[in-house]
Every structure is written in C-alpha cells, then in structure tokens.
C-alpha cells in the first residue's frame, strides 16, 4: 500500500520516468500534447540558465557553473534529454589578466548562420570588474570546437555590465543588457540598443528600467537578467531584481509590438513581481530566466534553490538549479507565470469535455470549473500514487502540495493529507480512458460514480449511459 511516508520518500510525487503509467495500469488516455518536463530540477547547479529555441531538432543549454570559470554547452533533442546530456566546455577563462575573474551568465544565440555566446567576465585581479564579451563559432553544432573570442561588447560607459541578450523584431536586431550607469545610485539598470552586427551596437543605449520599487531593492538595487518574449501584439521583457537569495524575483516590462522600442516611454513596468519565492513549494529565489518552446507551448526556464537559508554569500552557494515549466497565457494576452513548482512529475490542467474553454481549479479549497484563471497555479495538479494501492491515483495541488483532491460529502475539495483510511478512500480515484473520448480521462471515485462538471461546479455523478453526463465526466489534459 502506498502511504504518505512512501510518497515523501520519493519527493511526494511520481517520477517522470513512466511511473505514472505503472501506477495506473488500466489507463491509456493521452498525456498533454506539449511534453514539458517538470521533474525539476532539470539540471542541478546550473544558474542563469539559457535554453535555445529548438534549432535543427536540438535544444542547447548553457548557464553559470558554480566555479564561475568557463562556458559550457549541452544539447539534446528534448528538454528532458538535457538532464543527462554530455556537457562540453567551449571556452575557459585565462589564468591571468583580462577575463581571468568570474565568468557569469552566458547566452547562446544563432544569428545569420553562426553561433554567438554573450557572457560576462571579470579580471583576474579584479573579479568583479565585470564586462560583457562575445564568442563566435561558424559550426552548425555549438558543442564543437572552433570558438573564437571576438572581444568586448562596447557600450556607452566602461562600467559593470552583464546579462546581455539579443532579439530580432520588425527587421531590426536589438541588444538588451544590464549595466551600472554613472551618476545613478543603483547596482544595475536595463538598457536597449539597436545592433550594427552581432559584435557591435548601432545606436546609443536607452535606459528602460531602473530598480525603484520595494521588491526591486531588497539587499541590492538590481534590474538584471532580461529575457524577451514577443506574443499577442506585445513585446514582453522579464527581468530579475534584488539580492540573489530568497528575495530574488522576476518583474515584467511590456511594449506594444508596433512601438519604437528605443523610446523609453514605450515600456511599462508591472507594479508587482510576476514570479517569486514560494515557501509552500520549497522554491526560493526564482529568477534569471529565459524562454523556449515545446510545440506550440511556451516554456519558462529559470533557476531557484530548494532552501531559504544560505551560509555565507548567496552568490557562492552552488545550488541554484535549472528548472523549467510551462508558461500559460491569460485571456487578455498577458503571460501567467503561476508559482515555481516543486520537485515532481508532470503537471496537468483538466478541462471538461463539455466546456473546453474552462478548467478545473480550486478556490477557497473547493473545486470548481472556471474560465480565464489568472492564478494559474490554482488550476494545476499532479497525478500521484493513490492512497488505496496500485491502480489508484490521487490529484495533488501544485501550489498547496500538502493537499489532495478529496470528496467530502457533496463537495469536492483539496484538503490536507490525513493518514487515515477514510481520507485515503475519499482522495483516491481510478483513472481510466475518458467515458466520452478515450484520448481524454475520467476519474472514477466509486463503483459507478465519477468526478464531473455541473454548471461551474465539480461534483460526483453517475453518468451511466447518458451521453451528456458522460461528456461532463470526461476531461482533457492540458
């Protein structure tokens, strides 16, 4: 019998290696089309992660190593494959002089048939004299040798400069980075400029963000780590703020896609952070993100720690791990980040077959069916082993991982785990191919009762052979 103790021993969830299927031997329903791995962390001890969009059938990952001494790249045909992929060192810092200090936050970009890595480096005698440099490779596979150091990316000021990224939009290529500007009492601000080539700027820098809000100035006054996503008629830029401990978090800038991106007035800063520490999921200091895609799904890539308390300088704590999770979108076209998810297997949203634009979510711990759920984590669940042994499953809340979907009289709720037979019976289901669509799922709670949608509520139902009732008891997995 699977108990709470055995669940905790395996991280509270099924591993993402087929255990879900083995726990539900009768289920043949399809999994979500977008196979976004959430067996986090994806790669341990790789901070500031950057994963390329799929390129010639491959994903490539780079990031900061704990030693801050080299640039590494790994590649795989799937995101999951990056976990065990062999890592290659493409460049190592010199033993002395310029660039012999800390090596931070490399990004890998394919531009005009060549690969470029933009990275930050300090000097041997002044490791925090950080500037941005660029490597170039003509090879199709960036893991191969042949990388050439092309020098420093020159900006308007010879000051602390880091976290450069680049993107193309409306026939122009832009450079976006963090820098300390003389005369401004901050650690770093965000700047944008048009590029003349992958190696040089064409225009003067434009400051588009300065850390001024309370959540941006915790420990240090920081705006850094910009990442770009162009969707739904807008250009979104995420960035990271504050010290690199549990206070580290992500903010959001937005511009209209038709606006002049080199005009600071085109950019609007969201007043609150969009991605923050979450004690319930044991994820601390999420930030320095990038974006990639799986099929049509956008994927958020970021680092975070599994613990809050750090001994010494958090910059030298090695356990900022690379993590990925699906990015969702609100009805108004803005991104919905949810919460940094805890360790575990695949995350799903359930959409009733009779109302495909709606999803199952919890509100005040009660299950209901809603549209446009802006708090996306309220609608995210994990299938985990049920409490009644092999052949049963439980539905674990993602943002309240100590709570499971449970039938309580005429209500369906998410309730804290109780180590009792009564709780086990009420929180265990048999997952089968959908009663009305075998590519979807149905969840049997008793001999002939199923979870079902009923005008915005999630209820128990006996659909028998009623066609409409069987549709209401069938859910697609998003």
Q: What is the pLDDT of residue 19?
A: 25
CA distances from 177 to 11, 18, 152, 212, 476 (A): 37, 41, 14, 18, 41
Structure tokens given for 152: 């420093």
Q: What is the pLDDT of residue 478?
A: 86
Q: What is the pLDDT of residue 5?
A: 34
Q: What is the pLDDT of residue 300?
A: 97
What is the pTM assigned to this prediction? 0.90
Mark the ranges of the chain whose per-residue pLDDT is less than 50: 1-33
Q: Residue 225 and residue 253: Cα distance in Å, rounded? A: 12
CA dihedral 49, 9, 477, 423 (to 10 degrees): -140
Q: What is the pLDDT of residue 4?
A: 37
Catalytic position from the list 107, 163, 224, 415:
224
Convert 192-216 to b/e letters by CB count within 10 Å (16 or more is b): bbebeebeebeeebbebbbbebebb
Q: What is the pLDDT of residue 225?
A: 98
224 is catalytic: yes
48 is catalytic: yes
Q: Concatenated DSSP letters for 178-189?
A: EEPPTT--SSBE
Q: What is the pLDDT of residue 9?
A: 33
Could you give the domains of the chain? 4-31+346-477 (2.80.10.50), 47-336 (2.115.10.20)
Per the listing, tokens 């993402």 go with 16
Q: What is the pLDDT of residue 31?
A: 38
């Amino acid at each position: 019998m699977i108990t709470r103790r055995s669940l905790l021993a395996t991280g509270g969830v099924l591993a993402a290696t087929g255990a879900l299927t083995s726990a539900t031997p009768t289920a043949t329903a399809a999994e979500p089309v977008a196979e976004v791995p959430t067996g986090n962390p994806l790669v341990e001890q790789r901070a500031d992660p950057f994963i390329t969009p799929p390129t010639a059938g491959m994903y490539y990952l780079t990031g900061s190593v704990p030693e801050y001494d080299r640039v590494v790249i790994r590649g795989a045909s799937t995101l999951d494959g990056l976990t065990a992929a062999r890592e290659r060192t493409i460049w190592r810092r010199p033993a002395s002089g310029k660039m012999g200090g800390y090596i931070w936050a490399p990004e890998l970009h394919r531009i005009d048939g060549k690969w470029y890595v933009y990275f930050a480096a300090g000097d041997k005698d002044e490791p925090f004299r950080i500037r941005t440099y660029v490597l170039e490779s003509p090879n199709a596979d960036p893991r191969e040798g042949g990388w050439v150091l092309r020098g420093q990316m020159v900006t308007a000021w010879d000051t602390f400069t880091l976290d450069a990224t680049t993107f193309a939009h409306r026939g122009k290529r832009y450079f976006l980075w963090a820098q300390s500007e003389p005369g401004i009492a901050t650690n770093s601000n965000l700047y944008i400029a048009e590029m003349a080539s992958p190696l040089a700027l064409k225009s003067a820098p434009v400051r588009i963000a300065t850390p001024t809000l309370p959540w941006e100035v915790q420990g240090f006054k920081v705006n850094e780590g910009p990442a770009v996503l162009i969707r739904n008629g807008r250009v979104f830029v995420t960035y990271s703020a504050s010290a690199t401990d549990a206070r580290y978090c992500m903010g959001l800038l937005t511009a209209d896609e038709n606006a002049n991106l080199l005009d600071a007035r085109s950019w609007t800063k969201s007043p609150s952070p969009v991605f923050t520490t979450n004690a319930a999921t044991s994820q601390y200091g999420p930030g320095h993100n990038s974006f990639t895609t799986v099929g049509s799904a956008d994927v958020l890539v970021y680092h975070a720690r599994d613990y809050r308390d750090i001994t010494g300088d958090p910059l030298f704590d090695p356990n900022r791990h690379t993590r990925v999770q699906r990015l969702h979108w609100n009805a108004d076209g803005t991104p919905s980040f949810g919460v940094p998810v805890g360790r575990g297997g695949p995350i799903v949203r359930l959409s009733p077959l009779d109302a495909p634009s709606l999803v199952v979510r919890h509100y005040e711990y009660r299950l209901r069916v809603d549209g446009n759920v802006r708090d996306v984590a309220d609608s995210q669940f994990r299938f985990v082993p049920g409490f009644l042994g092999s052949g049963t499953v439980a539905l674990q809340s993602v943002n309240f991982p100590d709570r499971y979907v449970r039938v309580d009289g005429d209500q369906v709720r998410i309730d804290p785990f109780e180590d009792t037979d009564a709780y086990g019976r009420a929180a265990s289901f048999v997952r089968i191919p959908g009663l009305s669509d075998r590519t979807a799922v149905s969840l049997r709670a008793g001999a002939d009762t199923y979870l079902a949608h009923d005008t915005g509520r999630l209820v128990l139902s006996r659909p028998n052979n009623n066609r409409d009732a069987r549709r209401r008891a069938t859910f697609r997995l998003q």
